[in-house]
Amino acid sequence: MCKLEIRFDVINPVTDNKKPHYDTNRNLFLFPVDINYRYYVEVRNIDENTGEYRYYLLLSKIKFSEHCRLCEVNMYKMCKIHPRGDFKEYVIQECEERGNVDMSKVDANSDYDIWLVD
pTM over 0.85? The answer is yes
What is the rounded CA–CA span in Å between residue 44 and residue 17?
25
Q: Residue 48: phi, psi to the nearest 5?
A: -65, -30
Condensed to tens digits (0 to 9), the pLDDT of residues 95-116 reads 999 999 999 999 999 999 999 9
Count of positions (residues) in the chain: 118
Residue 52 has pLDDT above 90, yes or no: yes
Condensed to tens digits (0 to 9), the pLDDT of residues 6-30 reads 788 888 889 899 999 999 999 999 9
Question: How many contiguous H segments (helices) and E segments (strands) does the chain have?
Answer: 1, 9
